[in-house]
Amino acid sequence: MNFKIAVIPGDGIGVDVINQAVKALDKIGEVYGHTFEYHHRLVGGCSIDECGVPITDETVEICRTCDAILFGAAGGPKWDHLPAEMRPEKGLARLRREFNLFANLRPSKIYEDLKEKSPLKNRVIEKGVDMMLIRDLTGGIYFNEKGTRTGKYGEEAFDVECYSKFEVERVAKKAFEIAMTRKKHVTSVDKFNALYSGKLWRDTVTEVAKDYPEVTLEHMLVDKAAMDIACMPSHFDVILTTSIFGDILSDEAGVTTGSIGMLPSAAMNDKGFGLFEPIHGTAPDIAGKGIANPLASMAAVGMLLEYGLGLTEEARAMDRAINKVLHDGYRTGDIFLEGNTRVTTEEMGALTVERITK
């Protein structure tokens, strides 16, 4: 099969790691008989330097012709002086807006050979950690009415947490669809006992669940979910929640793995189109030094294959390769322990690619 992929390394170590991710896609194509046509574009600070804006209209239109977007990272202190509307991150924000990427997928799993890097106790992680947190990405408190005013005690600031039934339905459907490919269990996280928006969230998710009778649905308050992610993460399969709760819980879930250098992410719409990226950011202090961990970007390739292109077998091959390279003891600095073999970004990429087989 032939696929068109928009490749956007962005800034900082985004360039370093996406180079390795593309090599992984090439090997997947070689092994499984696919052709990947790449469209390399600038977004973020590099686009500001080259084009004067965080993203160009041309880049948006080229992405529109592609089957998926492979993204690195955007931003850095070099551009911190710019006004908010011109910051590098606005390029990524526009991509999310243009393609209605309302569902954020954040997997969190502990690889067997990285258990020692997890901050969780052995008795906790020995039961396994393999969660998929799905949060709304375009609604809620971050995107609704906000401002300042004078109140009873003087100056006030406010941000409105508001959800429509439609917004909840669409992200809930995505969560249930993904749960059907996993262990068929969804934990919907809200604060229905204190928030009107939480009650709407819970009621709507309950309605959507009726269309997925094979999936077990449980509701959980956000404070209980925060405790259980830390104390009994093996309980969770798919976690569904709001933008602000998901922002916090996904980082908590992610830290259980021991390194953000291992964590991929996806932002998707209801048509199956998505943007796939590592979550580690630009890390400009180590950019170009050959020490960044490319495995999160390669795991993002796995998500692109599975959720973006529907290539489940190929995604599993990518995951197997990551597991194999870790089992063979190769490590970049962020996941290095005594007894491992320390390797560079490029070496880790090449060693992982070598292990991609059917």
In this structure, are 268 and 353 located in the same domain? yes
The reply to whether 183 falls in a domain is yes
Residue type, 281: G
Question: What pLDDT score was predicted for residue 77?
Answer: 96
Residue among 32, 142, 184, 324 flagged as catalytic: 142
Question: What pLDDT score was predicted for residue 119?
Answer: 83
Q: Which stretches of the chain score pLDDT less than 70?
A: none
Question: What pLDDT score was predicted for residue 116?
Answer: 85
pTM: 0.94
pLDDT digits (tens, 9 = 90+) for 43-96: 999 999 999 999 999 999 999 999 999 999 999 999 999 998 999 999 999 999
In this structure, are 281 and 321 located in the same domain? yes
Instruction: Provide the CATH number for the domain around residue 31.
Output: 3.40.718.10
Q: What is the DSSP string of 77-112?
A: GGGTTS-GGGSTHHHHHHHHHHTT--EEEEEEE--G
The reply to whether 141 falls in a domain is no
- Neighbour tally for 100: CB within 10 Å: 16
The reply to whether 144 falls in a domain is no
Reply yes or no on whether 57 is catalytic.
no
The reply to whether 166 falls in a domain is yes
Question: What pLDDT score was predicted for residue 323?
Answer: 96
Question: What pLDDT score was predicted for residue 146?
Answer: 96
Question: What pLDDT score was predicted for residue 114?
Answer: 87
Identify the domain boundary among 256, 280, 295: 256
Q: What is the DSSP string of 194-250?
A: T-HHHHHHHHHHHHHHTT-TTSEEEEEEHHHHHHHHHH-GGG-SEEEE-HHHHHHHH
Residue among 4, 159, 247, 324 flagged as catalytic: 247
Expressed as residue numbers, the domain containing 7 is 1-106+260-358
Residue among 80, 211, 223, 270 flagged as catalytic: 223
The reply to whether 90 falls in a domain is yes
The reply to whether 147 falls in a domain is no
Residue among 90, 109, 174, 191 flagged as catalytic: 191
Reply yes or no on whether 247 is catalytic.
yes
Q: Spell out the residues 6+ positions from residue 340 whose beta carbon is closer than 8 angstroms to its own.
A: 329, 330, 331
Residue type, 7: V
Q: What are the CA-CA distances from residue 94 to residues 39, 65, 117, 163 (Å)?
A: 18, 16, 36, 21
Question: What pLDDT score was predicted for residue 260?
Answer: 79
Question: What pLDDT score was predicted for residue 258?
Answer: 75
Question: What pLDDT score was predicted for residue 67?
Answer: 98
Reply yes or no on whether 49 is catalytic.
no
Domain count, the chain: 2
The reply to whether 346 falls in a domain is yes
Do strands 154-159 and 146-151 pair parallel, antiparallel, or not at all (unpaired)? antiparallel
